Structure 1
Amino acid sequence: MRKFFVFCLLSIGLKAAAQKTPFELSGKIETTTYTEAISYYENLAKAYPEAKLFSYGHTDFGKPLHVLVLSDDQVFDPALIRKSNKRVLLINNGIHPGEPEGIDASMMLARDLLKARKLPKDVVICIIPIYNIDGSFNRSGTSRANQNGPVTYGFRGNSKNLDLNRDFIKTDSKNSATFQLIFNTWQPEIFVDTHTSNGADYQYVMTLIPTQKDKLNPILSDYLTKTLVPDLYTGMEKLGYPMIPYVNSIGETPESGITGFIDPPRYSTGYTTLHNTIGFMPETHMLKSYDLRVDATYKLLQTYIQVVERDARIIGENKRKADEFVAAQKEFPLEWKLNKTGVNDLTFKGFEAGQKPSTVSGADRLYYDSSKPYTKTIKEWNKFEPALSVQKPVAYVIPKAWDRVIALLKLNQVKLRELKSDQKIAVDNYYIGDFKTGTRPYEGHYLHSGVKVNTIPQKLQYYTGDYVVYVNQPTNRYIIETLEPQATDSYFNWNFFDSILDMKEHYSAYVFEDTATELLKNNPDLKNKLEAKKASDAEFAKNAAAQLDFVYKNSDYYEKTHNRYPVARLVTDVKLDLK
């Protein structure tokens, strides 16, 4: 009896310890530290059998990523959860630790759901307490110069000074690799990544960036635009937080109109789109008080849970259909452009803007007058169209040497087959014809863009252990948007294959002059090709070195691997000797 009494006291003590978050205890002006957050979630998991705290992998800071899972029936096996036809909602917090509303809101939300026994029956909730652990330890109250609280907060860059919301495809950080492990283990249908905005001043506390509707699979996009987003807006309006799309102004102020946000796969929601997961970036307004921003985030997360629980069956069926659609899909967009004729009217609650002399420079400067609110109709451009598309091949063939590519494909549950023996395979090869490269580094890379390719059929030798990736999978979008070099966030554009752009052999001109003479003498077609080039290009006709190089590059002496993209396209479904 005494032991039972002690156990009850201990249980009550654990639950009492989990009653208030550091945010609440501070008078709602401070955000939780990493250590406090993990301790808080550990106490929740000890106090409530419906909660379990998992740790996964590593981060650049040396600590694992944690995931708190809330499951009403206390089932915490992702395979069993999928088998029972439940939905998974994944909430990611602190990817930018200076934007910490989600950190504090999620802690209170988890506690309140557990305490009130109000966990949804058909939805399992997964919460990453703080994704950028590294940045959360680098605390100050000044790194976000425009932001109204909290008192101190973390820094945007991680230990490698990477912005982790640019790292989902290139995966330079251990954080990204571990996130992808979590994501592909739990396979959420809905993903929410909490943020704080910068930019114009206006009346809204909360703005919303959904996965770009035109990039999303049509089945999912239809539900997103006709049901999910409208119901989120309606729900938040009822809770006292009317929302507006993220204010991406085309001019200095919102009155000039706003455009939708295109989220390539470097971003979290662009990455989740590749897996047919509907993603959101809610962005609270930086100038609103921190307590309001946390409260708005709390209520938005509540609203997600209510809608996903209500539509659990529909959401699951849509995801299943989208996966089947993508597995059979033949044409895939690689780049997108804004349709400037597709415009709609949007009711917008802003503040009047004006100009006044700067006390710093004396020049006119922009300001917003919060004492002069207005409601106006503004223009929104949010229709995107494919700028470049590609027909999928039967498969891609990848030499095993490109192990980083192989590892990322496997991490994202792409099915790969290995060659069982050495064999020659007829493939289409891309040769990189042209590309642009940024003049300044971006997130640790000199990013390529504007890639042009020439396709040449070849029969190449491949070896035991080389990989074949058939493009008949639900992960087709991930496969194609990483392996097609012209795609915005392809592995090629992120410099995975830059070594192919260097020549490894060359010639001494004084020796090759004699070789070139023999080549032109014995090959009339080459000689005619050279003369035609001289006739059509006056600068070339005056450049002796360029002419010698032309002969070299049109001869067998020129290395066949220079500029040859190493991932080949198998365009005929031939029988291969596979493990």
Structure 2
Amino acid sequence: MKHFLNLLLLLIFMNASAQQTPYELSGKTETATYQETIKYYQLLDQAYPECKLLTYGNTDFGKPLNVLVLARDKVFDPITIRKNNKCVLLINNGIHPGEPEGIDASMMLARDLLKAGKLPENVVICIIPVYNIDGIFNRSGTSRANQNGPVAYGFRGNNKNYDLNRDFIKTDSKNSHSFQEIFNIWQPEIFVDTHTSNGADYQYTMTLIPTHKDKLNPGLSAYMTGTLLPDLYAGIKQRGYEMIPYVNSIEETPDAGITGFLESPRYSTGYTTLHNTIGFMPETHMLKAYDKRVDATYKLLETYLEIVIRDAKKLVENKHTADKETASQKEFTVEWKLDQEKHEALEFKGYAAKQKPSAVSGLDRLYYDRSTPYTKTIKYWNTYVPAVTLHKPIAYIIPQAWDKVISLLKLNRVKMQRLTKDAAIPVEVYYIADYKTAGKPFEGHYVHSAVKVSPAKQNLQFYAGDYVVYVNQPVNRYIVETLEPQATDSFFNWNFFDSILGMKEHFSAYVFEDTAADLLKKDPRLREKLEQQKQKDPGLSKNAEAQLDFIYKNSDYYEKTHNRYPIARLLTETQLSLK
């Protein structure tokens, strides 16, 4: 009976009208629920042998992440797909379930491609139906106060109240862990993460954040800026929608100009950049009607597919080349800053920003007058320059105690070896000399920034089972930007190593007084160092406790591990016993 009912459901679904999505059946005013979305993809899987609905890992909500794979030749094995040099396009939806256009547009796109028999021969399409499963169940019509529809939608935070588009490096959520599993299994050439904007009002329905050109591999950047982006803008314009770069205003309104958005690795496209994947965050405008936003998303996805099909061979070759270059790359920029001297002219279609009395406060308030549209040239700052650049070591050595770090490196295809016996190894270590810490928690962390390190050469003892990571891999950028403390989204900045910042031993002044006097008597260099410090800091002469502390921290009594970053840099070729 169960088999008969499934067959009956399948026959009903294969009827043209029944293949409509929940969004279409609602008159294009509602977005699909999680259950409706997955059921729809399950029926596609049953109806068409060219698609397969796969599951990976788990999420904080207790459900696995789904991926619908569309493959014309019915081959769904990623290893075989890569051997056949096919290009992979990965589309991620519902990272913010209150921004659901991609959820509905992807369902229609998958159906239309399958129904028309128009799947490409040289491209495999992977669609994550809903990434933040937790958030889509938290459904209302009020959580996005500035948004024009749909009737109801999900919530930005997941069940741990994390914004999952800030979680890609720190991986506090199971969602992020499962996404990274999917990403590193399929290794896409192009990644698209669908969103809805907030901010100013203007005439465009669609805006775009691409992987930033200045921090992308040079070959990939040249292709993206010279071919992909111009064709993307032209292609969607031909489909009825003009597009503009994401409106990241330098002032309250766009009139004074906008800046390019620099996505660090906490964001989805910042993370994918570490793997030489060209990433995009399309952002529809929250005040446009929901059906227009879904339509614009659909047509942008169509445009992506058109270009990826045309350039599939080039995209695969470009990524192979970028991976080889990254494996041999010596210098890595780990922090960037906006070049405020360089800007370009950008034609912008907006609405006049005006003031009128507020009905709430009686004071002047901003509004955009849609009866006064304009087209004008504004400034666009989109050049970032290196702020911190580092020379890579031969290898990093990671004590096995730091298991979360090791787990994430493995998840990201980092090849690791282990010491087979205890060894004292000459390495460079960092002492954390200075850093700033946020006064309030951000995404569950008191994030560090502005890190300064003091390098030192030491012979350190390592033990059998500790990990050695050679920096000669296609994933070098992931290795360097997570393990170097100065990197914007390093594991250090996300508090993975905060335990090293606290001393475990100290002294009692009345006991250490005699010890300190003896140290000064026996070590004239220490006495001279103390005197020099007094000259630099006049207040030190009047502070007995501070003088004892200075002597303590410049003696053998002071613990060598305090503020010492635990991951060492191997700078010279050294024979190690490894497995």
Per the TM superposition, whether the score is higher than 0.5 is yes
State the match for 2:37 in structure 1: 37
Map of 1:543 onto structure 2: 543
Q: Is the 8 A contact 2:427 2:571 kept in 1?
A: yes
Distance between the aligned counterparts of 1:307 and 1:188, measured in 2? 15
Cα deviation code 1:13-58 (max 9, x no counterpart) = 3423861111001000000000110000000000000010001111
Could you say which residue in structure 2 is the equivalent of 1:368? Answer: 368
The corresponding residue for 2:409 is: 409
Partner of residue 296, structure 1: 296
- Provide the C-alpha distance between the structure 2 equivalents of 1:150 and 1:69, rounded to a whole number of angstroms: 27
TM-fit CA distance, 1:194: 0.1
Is 1:494 the counterpart of 2:506? The answer is: no
Q: 2:74: which partner in 1?
A: 74
Return the letter of the residue paired with 2:207: T
1:10 CA drift (Å):
6.7
Q: State the Cα distance separating 1:9 from its structure 2 match.
A: 6.9
The one-letter code matched in structure 2 to 1:321 is T
Give the corresponding residue for 1:114.
Answer: 114
Contact 2:277 2:319 in 1 (8 A): yes
Question: Equivalents in 2 of 1:163, 1:60: separation in Å?
Answer: 13
Matched, 1:392 2:392: yes
**What does residue range 51-200 of structure 1 map to in structure 2 within 5 Å?**
51-200=51-200
Counting only pairs closer than 5 Å after superposition, residues 221-370 of structure 1 correspond to structure 2 as: 221-370=221-370
Q: Equivalent residue of 1:375, what SS?
A: strand
Show the 5 A alignment for 1:436-451: 436-451=436-451
Equivalent residue, structure 1, for 2:11: 12
Structure 2 letter corresponding to 1:345: A
Please list, as runs of the form range in 1=range in 2, the aligned pairs for 1:464-475 lying within 5 A after superposition. Answer: 464-475=464-475
* Deviation string, structure 1 residues 35-82 (Cα, Å, up to 9, x no partner): 110000000000000010001111000000000000000000000000
Structure 2: any 5+ residue segments left out of the alignment? none
1:348-388 Cα deviation digits (max 9, x unpaired): 11111100011111111110111111111111000001111
Shift of 1:536: 2.2
Tell me what 2:422 maps to. Answer: 422
Distance in 2, Cα, partners of 1:165 & 1:59: 14
CA offsets 1:221-275 (integer angstroms, 9 cap, x no match): 0000010010010001100001000001111211110000000000000000000
Task: Tell me the distance in 1 between the aligned counterparts of 2:309 and 2:351.
Answer: 37
1:197 CA drift (Å): 0.3
Change in Cα spacing, 1:7 to 1:45, as seen in structure 2 (3 Å) is: closer
CA distance in 1, matches of 2:536, 2:63: 62
Q: Where do residues 497-512 of structure 1 align in structure 2 (5 Å cutoff)?
A: 497-512=497-512
Question: Counterparts of 1:175 and 1:348 in 2: how far apart (Å)?
Answer: 37
SS in structure 2 opposite 1:148? coil
Aligned AA (2:11): I
Overall identity of the aligned pairs, in %: 71
User: How many Å separate the matches in 1 of 2:183 and 2:189?
Assistant: 10
Identify the range of structure 1 (522-531 vs 13-22) with the bigger mean alpha-carbon deviation: 13-22
Amino acid at match of 2:570: L
| SS in structure 2 of the partner of residue 487 of structure 1 | coil
Number of matched pairs: 575
> Is the partner of 2:424 in helix, strand or coil?
strand
Shift of 1:7: 11
- Is 1:47 aligned to residue 47 of structure 2? yes
Give the conservation status (yes or no) of the 8 Å contact 1:18–1:40. Answer: no
Runs of at least 4 residues off by over 2 Å: 5-14
Counterparts of 1:372-383 in structure 2, within 5 Å, are: 372-383=372-383
Are the aligned partners of 1:94 and 1:103 in contact in 2 as well (CA < 8 Å)?
yes
State how far apart, in whole Å, the 2-side matches of 1:428 and 1:241 are. Answer: 54
2:497 and 2:104 mapped to 1: Cα distance? 41
Structure 1, unaligned runs of 5 or more: none
CA distance, structure 2, for counterparts of residue 7 and residue 546 of structure 1: 78
2-structure distance, mates of 1:18, 1:484: 54
How far apart are the structure 2 equivalents of 1:112 and 1:296? 16
**Structure 2: distance between partners of 1:7 and 1:444:** 44
SS in 2 for 1:297: helix
For the aligned residue pairs, the C-alpha RMSD in angstroms reads 1.2
Q: Deviations over 1:266-325 (max 9, x none)?
A: 000000000000000000000000000000000000111110000001101100110011
Q: Please say if residues 10 and 43 of structure 2, whose CA atoms lie closer than 8 Å, have aligned partners that are also in contact.
A: no
Larger deviation: 351-360 or 186-195?
Answer: 351-360
Give the residue type in structure 2 aligned to 1:91.
I
Q: 1: CA distance between counterparts of 2:9 and 2:155?
A: 37
Q: Could you say which residue in structure 1 is the equivalent of 2:206?
A: 206
TM-score (norm 1): 0.98
Shift of 1:91: 0.2
Counterpart AA for 2:488: T
SS of corresponding position for 1:69 = strand
**How far apart are the structure 2 equivalents of 1:402 and 1:11?**
50
Separation of aligned partners in 2, 1:32 and 1:518: 76
- What is the deviation of 1:8? 8.8
2:27 — aligned with what?
A: 27
Classify the secondary structure of the residue corresponding to 1:572: coil
CA distance, structure 1, for counterparts of residue 8 and residue 536 of structure 2: 91
Mapped to 2, the partners of 1:15 and 1:518 lie a distance apart of 90
Instruction: Output the CA distance in 2 between the equivalents of 1:535 and 1:300.
Output: 66
Looking at structure 1, the residues matched to 166 and 343 of structure 2 have their Cα atoms a distance apart, in angstroms, of 29
- 1:82 is paired with a residue of what secondary structure? helix
For 1:478 and 1:536, locate their aligned partners in 2 and report how far apart those are by CA, in whole Å.
41
**DSSP 3-state at the match of 1:252:** coil
> 2-side partners of 1:8 and 1:455: how far apart?
68
Which SS does the other structure have where 2:19 is aligned? coil
Alpha-carbon distance, 1:418 to partner? 0.5
Counterpart secondary structure, 2:455: strand
Give CA deviations for 1:147-166 in whole Å, capped at 9, x if unaligned: 00000000000000000000
Q: Deviations over 1:383-410 (max 9, x none)?
A: 0011110000000000000000000000
Asked if structure 2 preserves the Cα contact closer than 8 Å seen for 1:452 and 1:486, the reply is yes
Deviation at 1:507, TM superposition (A): 1.0
Q: Give the whole-Å Cα distance in 1 for the aligned partners of 2:6 and 2:26.
A: 30
Question: Deviations 1:67-118 (Å, cap 9, x if unpaired)?
Answer: 0000000000000000111000000000000000000000000000000001
Distance 1:171 1:9, change over 3 A: closer
What is the letter of the counterpart of residue 220 of structure 2? L
**Contact 1:18–1:43, Cα closer than 8 Å, also in 2:** no
Distance 1:399 1:18, change over 3 A: farther
Bigger CA drift: 251-260 or 404-413? 251-260
Aligned residue identity for 2:484: E
TM-score w.r.t. the length of structure 2 is 0.98
- Give distance in 2, aligned partners of 1:119 and 1:8: 25
Mapped to 2, the partners of 1:9 and 1:157 lie a distance apart of: 38
Instruction: Assess if the C-alpha contact under 8 Å between 1:18 and 1:44 holds in 2.
Output: no
Q: Which letter does structure 2 place at the counterpart of 1:234?
A: A
Distance in 2 between the 1:417 and 1:245 partners?
Answer: 43
Alpha-carbon deviation of 1:12?
3.4
For each residue in 1:385-440, what CA deviation from the matched residue of structure 2 results, as whole angstroms up to 9, or x when unmatched?
11110000000000000000000000000000100111110000000000000000
SS in 1 for 2:430: strand
The CA distance in 2 between the partners of 1:259 and 1:91, in whole Å, is 25
User: 1:396/1:286 Cα in 2 relative to 1: closer, same or farther (>3 Å)?
Assistant: same
